[in-house]
Amino acid sequence: MAGSLNKVLLIGRLGQDPEIKQMVNGKSVARLSIATSNTWKDKNTGEKKEKTEWHRIVIFNEGLVKVVQQYVKKGAQVYIEGQLTTRKWRDEKSGTDKYSTEIVLQGFNSAFKILSSKNNQIENLQDDSSEKNSPSPEENTTPNDLDDEIPF
């Protein structure tokens, strides 16, 4: 395949408080369960219908894990950007292979934003250096604003 993209964007609500665990290497990992819902009106009955999907989120970034542990609780609405990953492991009890598909936030191509929480605080936490370092609108320059003495 010439080019590919593995990017997931979700806005949803946490179904339970985040689970924070220590890995073997001593670093922390956060696990979240986020619900997204679609609503529509049934054409036949006129009744309002809703379908909810649950998404497993895993955060490996230490800074984001600390913030999630401190500020995110069940019911909080969050925005996440991450990559879809499928893990395979062997269930020792049944001896069968098991699979789990998760959205992983790790590295520079992930973002996490708290859109609302129980105490209505708004947080904006990103792990995307290109967005962190992007200039504000008033700092944007046009080609005419560039200094002609740049040596290249």
Tokens representing residue 83 in the block? 């990559």
Q: How confident is the model at residue 117 (pLDDT cuts 50, 70, 90)?
A: low
What's the mean per-residue pLDDT of the chain? 81
Give, for 100, the enclosing helix (H) or strand (E). Answer: strand 97-105
> Which two structure tokens, joined as six digits, stand for 41?
């009106």
Tell me if 88 sits within 8 A of 98, measured CB to CB: yes
pTM: 0.70
Domains and CATH numbers, the chain: 8-39+50-129 (2.40.50.140)
- Whether the pLDDT of residue 123 is over 80: the answer is no
CB 20 within 8 A of CB 69: yes
Instruction: Identify the helix (H) or strand (E) that includes residue 140.
Output: none
How large is the average pLDDT for residues 65-81? 94
pLDDT tens readout for residues 90-113: 988 999 999 999 999 998 889 999
Q: Which two tokens stand for residue 89?
A: 């492991």
Burial of 120-130, coded b for 16+ CB within 10 Å and e otherwise, reads eeebebbbeee
